[in-house]
Amino acid sequence: MVGRAFFKAVIKVDDIEVPIKFHSAVREERVRFRLLHKSDEQPLQQKLYCSQEDQPVDPDEQVRGYEVARRQYVVLEPEQIRDARPPGDQRSIEVLHFVNPADIDPRLLERPYYLGQDGQPQDYAILARALDQSGRAGICSWIMRRRHYIGVLQSLDGLLLMITLRFAHQLNAPERLRTKQPQLSDKELRTAKALIDELHESFDISDYQDDHQQRLMHFIEQKAHGEEPDMKRPRRRRATTPARLQSALEESLEQLGKR
């Protein structure tokens, strides 16, 4: 279920203005544990200690510092940190230009938001349908909660969708992971590609479940009812050798062919 809107703004495309409301398009579902005292199962509280004096430090004695070298810090005053922030929320989302969505590096995609209508349905529908028919996506810039955002604006079944983007400097370069490519035989490639073709089907995310979270909740429910969780340790698998991998691919293809 979509939650309440948490931010209102106006999308500006040249002379067109479309009022919208931000709604979160996803939700985090993770089993979260509290740290408890083992003897009485009461929640523990964290206290901040000075590593030099080994004494707790009151909030009014705490400052924020950036480590420029090992154990060397530059301390900024609260007003200096505030001054570095962008100005307050700007209710204007500027569409800078339009791009082919396939040109956007998937590593840049961060978090999706539904953009609900907050004005004339006609203007909203025109923008959503134009995006859908053009196959393009809008690159947008705006300020929200004193933070500068870049996002990609798309249409999803007549609904506007905004996905925030990471900046280029936030991507880790993979160069050190690149190794010299081994020589591959035509047979190996044909077998692997044939297996990929055999296993090809339409993607539906509802076919997949978060087994880890479900298992944790199952254990919690068992213990909450006074039962002992049924623990099963997974078997550790050995690494597959190249020869065994080729054999396994061929066996998989043979089994698929018998279905």
Task: Sort residue 135 into left (φ over 0), alpha (ψ -120 to 50) or beta.
Answer: left
Structurally, how many domains does the chain consist of? Answer: 1
- DSSP states of 196-225 as a string? HHHT-----GGG---HHHHHHHHHHHHHHT
Q: What is the pLDDT of residues 98-131, one digit of tens each?
A: 999 999 999 999 999 999 999 889 999 999 999 9
pLDDT at residue 42 greater than cutoff 60: yes
Which class for 106: exposed (0-12), middle (13-18), buried (19 or more C-beta within 10 A)?
exposed
Instruction: For residues 145-160, give the mean pLDDT.
Output: 94
- Domain assignment present for residue 149? The answer is yes
Report pLDDT for 235. 59
Report pLDDT for 3. 81
Report pLDDT for 188. 84
- Domain assignment present for residue 151? The answer is yes
What Rg value do the Cα atoms of the chain yield, rounded?
27
**Would strands 90-99 and 64-69 be described as parallel, antiparallel, or unpaired?**
unpaired
- Domain assignment present for residue 217? The answer is no
Which class for 153: exposed (0-12), middle (13-18), buried (19 or more C-beta within 10 A)?
buried
Instruction: For residues 38-63, give the mean pLDDT.
Output: 91
Task: Sort residue 174 into left (φ over 0), alpha (ψ -120 to 50) or beta.
Answer: alpha
- Domain assignment present for residue 95? The answer is yes
Under 8 Å between Cβ of 89 and 144: yes
- Domain assignment present for residue 142? The answer is yes
Report pLDDT for 197. 87
Report pLDDT for 91. 86
pLDDT at residue 201 greater than cutoff 80: yes
- Domain assignment present for residue 223? The answer is no
Classified as helix, coil or strand, 58 is coil
Residue range(s) defining the domain that contains residue 105: 7-27+90-166
* H-type alpha helices, 91-154: 121-134
- Domain assignment present for residue 38? The answer is no
- Domain assignment present for residue 117? The answer is yes
Instruction: For residues 52-81, give the mean pLDDT.
Output: 91
pLDDT at residue 35 greater than cutoff 60: yes
* DSSP code at position 46: -
Report pLDDT for 255. 65
Q: For position 129, which CATH number holds?
A: 2.40.290.10
Percent residues over pLDDT 90 in the chain: 49
Report pLDDT for 226. 84
Mean pLDDT of the chain: 87
Q: What is the pLDDT of residues 229-240, one digit of tens each?
A: 777 665 555 555
